[in-house]
Structure 1
Amino acid sequence: MTAPERLSAGAIAAAVNAGESNAVAVMEASLARIAAYDAVQPQVWISRAAPEALLAQARAIDTRVAAGEHLPLAGVPYAAKDNIDVAGMETTAACPAFAYTPEQSATVIERLEAAGAICIGKTNLDQFATGLVGTRSPYGAPRNASNLAYVSGGSSSGSAVAVAAGLVAFALGTDTAGSGRVPAAFNHLVGFKPTKGRWSTRGLVPACRSIDCITVFTDALADARLVDSVVAGFDAADPFSRQLADVPITGKRIGVPRPDQRVFFGDLQSEELYARALAVLGAQAELVEVDITPLLEAAQLLYGGPWVAERTAAVDPLLRANPDAIDPVVRSILEPGLAMSAVETWNGIYRLAGLARHAEALWESVDALAFPTTGTTYRIAELAAAPIALNSNLGRYTNFVNLLDMAALAIPAGARGNGTGFGITLIGPAHSDLALVTMAETYLAAADLPPLPPLDNGDRMDTIKLAVVGAHLEGMPLHWQLTSRNARFVGAFSTAPTYRLYAMADSVPPKPALVHSPDGGEIALEVYELGLAEFGSFVAEVPPPLAIGTVTLSDGTSVKGFVAEPRALEGAEDITHLGGWRAYIGGL
């Protein structure tokens, strides 16, 4: 496995325009990548254009460039989520019974093609763009590009994976509740969600027509800027289109949730990564803690208020005539809209108006918000067991944005130990789109993010890092329990200065007990990496009063490690002042 070799739209177009490359060569390379990745995840795609047709389009681009035409996206291969019309290609919205073949492309597709981009095909999605997980499709579930056991995020699942795996330079998604931000976070991508109406939605199968946005996934902020420069603009054929405007924001005051409102659903790694992101942002701007209760209430309206009925309206004929054609989970979300009254609708609209006033007042105290894109991620198997509840968790920090007419930009902020991406989202008032990109550039320049994790081509082994402090250290009597499980030595570290170490009484062989204590010190330890099965077998052999818990290291990260029950301290000697077990053993 190697890190994905991702494509740059700007670099491709520059090379083709300069005659240093040509669109045919770019297309041939992209087709080769796609063919190879089909062996890993064919479910990324619902349909693709024939290779001969794509090469013909590439030759036409080369002819235009040779004639002296400068094309902003010359020869750039891209993908479109399959709820966006591409003339001559079937639009399914991941529901075969709904499928149709449009004669005209969506406005955004027309603008991209005029700029020289070439649509490879239509990508998979949560059916009718209803979901944040990527598992609700009869065409299969696209999986996280860095760890196939985990969700890709949705609903724009296939589009995110196509970019993350280096198959295309960018891909269009959509975003009503977070569908263009959540998959970006999980797959280490930029997810640009423009202000409502900045990009035309003519030719989009609606989810909630009044708040839908077409979005883009890219590997770099520069490519998001480039695509926006091509497709943004008023469209008289779209009743929800708006005139372009750019609201400048300084980014000097950044709103963050109050500590008691930062929910990570037990995911300590996400919590740590968000803290690191805030440390970077805090060195660049003033962090202002804000009460996000009204935002969370607005988020609840999306699936607990009249906007459910707007989703229902988009598929009403099919839902009434052939409900079994709709994914059962999606159907369970849409059906309540059939019974929603006009009174409920207007009450919801009135409540949202009040919440919008609060949101507007936020911009008086902060320039932008910086939230976790999601608080956690999940395995495919976990989503199958609890599809509604876990999906809802993923929308905590995203569902309110479009309802409250905000711009948003999801950007990478690190990787969990399992390879999946963690991201933050910069959120600003309507029309602050380009200002958010500038803020993101400043953040990423200072964030010093690690290299991309390798692609998971089906040969990835999930591992867990384990801290040992005593008899399992190298050279100690129980170290063989690690080597026999092929544990990999990660390094020597110290705990945070909040632990005490005790030599337990009557322990054979001698063992220490590590106990969390605010008045403790740093304790030397070693970290090893084990496969999941090996870790499980190791834990099964840990004798009481010891146990495996979570240990915080001096750099703020957390790993699994030895902890102790209170009874371990009976008759034990406090050896914290020695700084570690080796020092104690050496003095015996």
Structure 2
Amino acid sequence: MNSTAPTTQASPEWIIKFDTPIYTDANADAVPSRPLPLAGLRFAVKDNIDVASVPTTAACPAYSYTPASHAHVVERLLQAGAGIVGKTNLDQFACGLNGSRSPYGAVPNSFNADYVSGGSSSGSAYAVATGQVDFSLGTDTAGSGRVPAGLNNIVGIKPSRGLLSARGVVPAAPSADCVSIFARTVATAVQVLQVARGYDAADPYSRQLDVSQSPFPPRFRFGVPDVLNFFGDAAAESAFEDAVSRLVSLGGVQVTIAYAPLAQAASLLYDSALVAERYAALREFVDAHDADIIEPVRGILTGGRKFSAADLVDAQRRLRELAQRVTPMWDDIDVLLVPTAPTHYTIAEMQADPVALNRNLGAYTNFVNLLDYAAISVPSSIRADGLPFGVTFIGPCGSDLRIADLGQRYHHATGLGMGATGRPLPPAVPLFDAPAPATVRVAVVGAHLSGMPLNKQLTERHAVLVAETRTAPDYRLYALPGTTPPKPGMVRVAPNEGSAIIVEVWEMPVEHYGSFVAMIPWPLGIGTITLADGSSVQGFACDALALASAEDISHYGGWRAYIAAR
């Protein structure tokens, strides 16, 4: 391993650069040409993550130590061919979301130096946004891997907890900590994620997680909180409205979700005995060096002393209650959309009111790790005042690659450049090596149409609407008596002796098709339906024996028109 000491330059660039980039011995002399997945990429590391022979300070000089080995995640990246060029400033002990809680100075926003960069991974985001490195590592306990991304027009991946090892990372709240990844494109961030992830038996919070899911579907349902607070920032509110419209144009259907239980879970991070974990993580140092910790970090850490073990048990039980309460949300949506940060503050504003304004920046981030979700923040727009605005896609644990796929589609639809560099985005690249899962197309004609009572039988099996069309003019449609909910029956007749009936064609994963067919009651069934363009799909058919007392409604042209006429 080639090591180096950091330079002594005072760095307004918010990255302490090394005299020579650090590589492993195996690739130090030939990084650009070796067939390694990250060959030629340069990265920076948040200064609460260990790099061998380089001091780790966590933005607290009295805490500084020099590790003998790399953090697990750093070692994996070096072995993949990447090189470390420096370490970055942060909110002290990763305790903050704004980037101004450091004795080394407040990190400015990459677009307007009067504004905060977001934290605690402030320097890591700044180094990526300004083009100094290809990617960087941060950490995320309450939003530190997302807020700086949203405020600097870059991508921030907050992995599922335990997907990346935290061995060699200064703990903040170990049960909620994640190593995060910043990059200017989703593709680069995912490439790093794929290298960095992996089970580590030496990390008590590491997990073996399966993230090998299929790409995000072309049609999907996205949740939006029923109550949104932008703290008086009209520009941010307008930017989020535009984001919702863009996601609809990309195939999304907006679903309103109750935000109250998520907000209640978020409040537990600092306003309950859960904050005791932050104190416990650094107890020995905090007790011995109280005066060496800056405010308001000191107040947060020492505030954990006042809670009892019983208080902590109560808080953990309350969190589990809220987790159970919100779990059904995922039955109705495929992804949750929130503003990465609801507003943007100047450094002066933040320093004048550091607790309340910091809390505002985390309005839509704090619950994510507590509830064991994955998230990715992607750029959304540049506001009229020239400041970036980002959105975050949140999914269940293990959905990391799936929501990244949607994030890449969204990012490329914005037309934005990369970070603060002014350079355009490169073409999107496939994020999945495996082919998309096999699907089957099914034509529905009645109660399974969009908005009809049985449509959920399709959507809960991840079917997506691909077309509204008509059959060939060889079918007749009947209203079947005594069915609940009301259903039609469609039968084939001699060529050109029927009508062209309106149908919807839905695409469903083959793995779910059998359970769908098994739910269809007599006299209905599945057969082959010919569409107006001559193509054939699977579709609903009806046993002719059931039509004796049925009303012929073919002249309506479809089930919706018949229902409307009733």
Structure 2 distance, partners of 1:212, 1:451, is: 27
1:330-369: CA deviation from partner (whole Å, max 9, x where unpaired): 0111111011111110110000001111232111111110
Q: Which residue of the partner structure matches residue 239 of structure 2?
A: 273
Which of 139, 163, 183 is residue 218 of structure 1 equivalent to? 183
The percent of aligned pairs where both chains have the same amino acid is 47
CA distance in 2, matches of 1:199, 1:127: 22
Q: Report the counterpart of residue 441 of structure 1 in structure 2.
A: 408
Q: Which residue number in structure 1 is paired with residue 340 of structure 2?
A: 373
Counterpart Cα distance in 1 of 2:149 and 2:161: 19
- Cα distance in 1 for partners of 2:60, 2:281 equals 13
Whole-angstrom distance in 2 between the partners of 1:93 and 1:441: 32
SS at match of 1:48: strand
* In structure 2, distance between residues paired with 1:383 and 1:132: 10
Contact in 2 for aligned 1:146/1:454 (Cα 8 Å): no
Note if contact 2:157-2:182 (Cα within 8 Å) is conserved in structure 1: yes
Q: Which of 284, 305, 320 is the equivalent residue of 2:287?
A: 320
In structure 2, the CA distance between the partners of 1:55 and 1:311, relative to structure 1 (3 Å rule), is: closer
Instruction: Tell me what 1:521 maps to.
Output: none
Checking the alignment, whether the CA contact within 8 Å between 1:419 and 1:453 is kept in structure 2 is no
Provide the secondary structure at the position in 2 that maps to 1:202: coil
C-alpha separation between the residues in 2 aligned to 1:77 and 1:450?
Answer: 20
Q: Is the 8 A contact 2:23 2:82 kept in 1?
A: no
Displacement of 1:384 in angstroms is 1.0
Q: Does the CA contact (< 8 Å) of 1:359 and 1:404 recur in 2?
A: no
Label 1:65 to 1:439 Cα distance change in 2 as closer, same or farther (>3 A): closer
Match of 2:51 in 1: 86
SS of equivalent to 1:269:
helix
Query: What TM-score results when the alignment is normalised by the length of structure 2?
Result: 0.70
Q: 2:118 aligns with which of 136, 141, 153?
A: 153
- Cα distance change of structure 1 residues 58 and 170 upon mapping to structure 2, 3 Å threshold: farther
Cα contact 1:147–1:418 (8 A) shared by 2: no
Cα 1:392–1:64 change in 2 (3 A) is closer
Which SS does the other structure have where 2:206 is aligned?
Answer: coil
Q: How does 1:184-583 map to 2 (within 5 A)?
A: 184-246=149-211, 247-248=213-214, 250=217, 252-258=220-226, 261-283=227-249, 284-449=251-416
SS at match of 1:401: helix
In structure 2, what residue type is equivalent to 1:126? D
Aligned partner of residue 411 in structure 2, secondary structure = helix
**Count of residue pairs brought into register by the alignment:** 413
Letter in 1 for 2:223: G
**Hey, what's the Cα distance between the residues in 1 that align with 2:64 and 2:122?**
19
Q: Does 1:48 align with 2:14?
A: no
Which structure: greater helix fraction? 1
Distance change >3 Å, CA 142–CA 76, structure 1 → 2:
same
- When residues 73 and 392 of structure 1 are mapped into structure 2, their CA distance, relative to the original with a 3 A threshold, is same
Structure 2 gaps, min length 5:
1-5, 423-566
Counterpart CA distance in 2 for 1:56 and 1:295 is 42
Structure 2 residue aligned with 1:471? none
Structure number, greater radius of gyration: 2
Moved more, 438-447 or 116-125: 438-447
C-alpha change, 1:219 and 1:282, in structure 2 (3 Å) is same
Amino acid at match of 1:325: D
User: Could you tell me how far 1:307 is from its partner in structure 2?
Assistant: 2.1
8 Å contact from structure 2 (residues 23, 84) kept in 1: no
- Cα distance in structure 2, aligned partners of 1:356 and 1:173: 26
TM-score (norm 1): 0.67
Counterpart of 1:215 in 2: which secondary structure? strand
Shift >4 Å, 4+ stretches? 55-60, 450-455
Which residue identity is paired with 1:278?
V
Q: 1:451/1:134 Cα in 2 relative to 1: closer, same or farther (>3 Å)?
A: closer
The change in CA–CA distance for 1:353 and 1:135 in structure 2 (over 3 A counts) is same
Amino acid at match of 1:291: A
